[in-house]
Amino acid sequence: MSAGGGARSDGARLLVRVLLFSVVSTLVLTLSQLYLDYRLQTAAIEGRMSEIADGYRQSLGEGLWSLDRRQLELQIDGILRLPAVRFVEVRETTDRGDPMVVSSGVHRDRSAVSQRFPLFRPEHGTEQQLGVLTLEATFDDVYRALREKAVVILTSHGATIFVVSLFVLYLTHRLVTRHLTALAGFLRDYDLRRPPPPLRLERRPPGEKDEIDDVVAAFETMRRTLEQAYESLRESEQRLRDYAETGSDWFWATRADCRLRAGWERNARKAPLGPRRRRRGGAREVA
C-alpha cells in the first residue's frame, strides 16, 4: 500500500471511529435525557390529576347534591380542556337503580392513567359521599413531545458531530498524518550509498518539542549511526580488497623460446625456494 493510500485509509478509519463513538454517545445521552423527561412529565400528569380533583371536588359535589346536570357538564368540559385529560365522569352514589351519570370525552379500556376520587358534601359535621369523580389521562402528548424533541436533538447533535469529526480529521492530518506520510516517503527512498540531506518537515517550529520532533530526532540519530557504520564497513572492505590484491600480484615473463613464464612476485621476493616448492608455487610455464 502506498503512503498516500495508507494515510487516506488511516484518516478514513479515524473518521469512522470518531463518528461511531460520537453517535453511540449521542444516542445514550439522548435516550437518558428522554427517559428523564418522560418520568418528569408522567409524574406531572399524575400530580395534575390530584390537583384537578382537589380544585373541582367541592363544586362538583354541590352540583351533584342539587342534581344540576348543566352545571356538572360545564365543569366537566372545563376539566377536559386541561392537558392530557381525555375522559371525565361524575357518577352519583345512590341505592336507586338509575343514578345520575355525567361524562364527556373518550373512554379507553386501557388508559395510561385512571384515577377515582370520592365526592363528599359536609352535613351536620360529617361528610356524606355523593358520588365518584373518574379522571382518565393519556400520554399521547408526552410521546409526541418526546418524539419531536428526539428529532431536534438527533438532528442538531448529528450535524455537530459530523462537523466536529471533520475538524478532528483535518487537525489530525495537519498535525500528524502528513508528517508521518513525509517520513514514510523519506524512508522509502532512503539509500545508504547516496545519503540524502537531513529530514526536514514542513511545519512551524512549536514552542516546545512534541512527539513529532522526538521521532525526527530519533530517526536522524539512527540515520547518522547507520551512515557511520556503513562508511566503516566500506573502509574495512576496501582494506580487505587491498590485502587480497597485494597477495595475488602476478608477474609474467617471456622465455627465449617464446613461452610465457608466470609466477607470484611476492613469493619471488622472499627467501629462495627449494626445488619442489619452486616447481609448485614459484613459477610455471604456459604454452
For the domain that residue 101 is a member of, what is the CATH number? 3.30.450
Nearest to 136 by CA among 169, 104, 178: 104
Predicted pLDDT of residue 121:
79
- Give the contacts of 168 (CB within 8 A, at least 6 positions apart): 14, 18
Nearest to 81 by CA among 59, 115, 110, 56: 56
In this structure, is residue 220 part of a structural domain?
yes
In this structure, is residue 166 part of a structural domain?
no
In this structure, the answer to whether residues 47 and 90 fall within a common structural domain is yes
Predicted pLDDT of residue 54:
86
In this structure, is residue 47 part of a structural domain?
yes
In this structure, the answer to whether residues 129 and 220 fall within a common structural domain is no
Q: Distance between CA atoms of 277 and 280, rounded to whole angstroms?
A: 5
In this structure, is residue 208 part of a structural domain?
yes
In this structure, is residue 173 part of a structural domain?
no
In this structure, the answer to whether residues 14 and 122 fall within a common structural domain is yes
Predicted pLDDT of residue 269:
46
In the DSSP assignment, the letter for residue 176 is I
In this structure, is residue 175 part of a structural domain?
no
**pLDDT, one tens digit for every residue, the chain (287 residues):** 444 555 556 667 777 888 888 888 888 988 999 999 999 998 888 888 888 888 888 888 888 888 888 888 898 898 888 888 889 999 988 777 788 889 888 888 776 788 889 888 777 767 788 889 999 988 888 899 999 999 998 888 888 888 888 888 888 877 777 777 777 777 777 776 777 777 777 777 666 777 777 777 787 788 788 888 878 888 888 888 877 776 555 545 555 555 545 554 444 444 444 444 444 444 444 44
In this structure, the answer to whether residues 233 and 276 fall within a common structural domain is no
In this structure, the answer to whether residues 35 and 129 fall within a common structural domain is yes
Which of 130, 145, 160 delimits the end of a domain?
145
Predicted pLDDT of residue 254:
53
In this structure, the answer to whether residues 63 and 111 fall within a common structural domain is yes
86's grid cell: 381525555
In this structure, is residue 186 part of a structural domain?
no
In this structure, the answer to whether residues 115 and 232 fall within a common structural domain is no
In this structure, the answer to whether residues 125 and 30 fall within a common structural domain is yes
Domain range holding 40? 3-145
Q: How many domains does the chain have?
A: 3
In this structure, the answer to whether residues 219 and 275 fall within a common structural domain is no
CA dihedral 273, 277, 283, 285 (to 10 degrees): 140
DSSP H or E segment with residue 261: strand 260-264
In this structure, the answer to whether residues 210 and 269 fall within a common structural domain is no
In this structure, the answer to whether residues 276 and 228 fall within a common structural domain is no
In this structure, the answer to whether residues 24 and 70 fall within a common structural domain is yes
Name residue 209's amino acid: K
In this structure, is residue 38 part of a structural domain?
yes
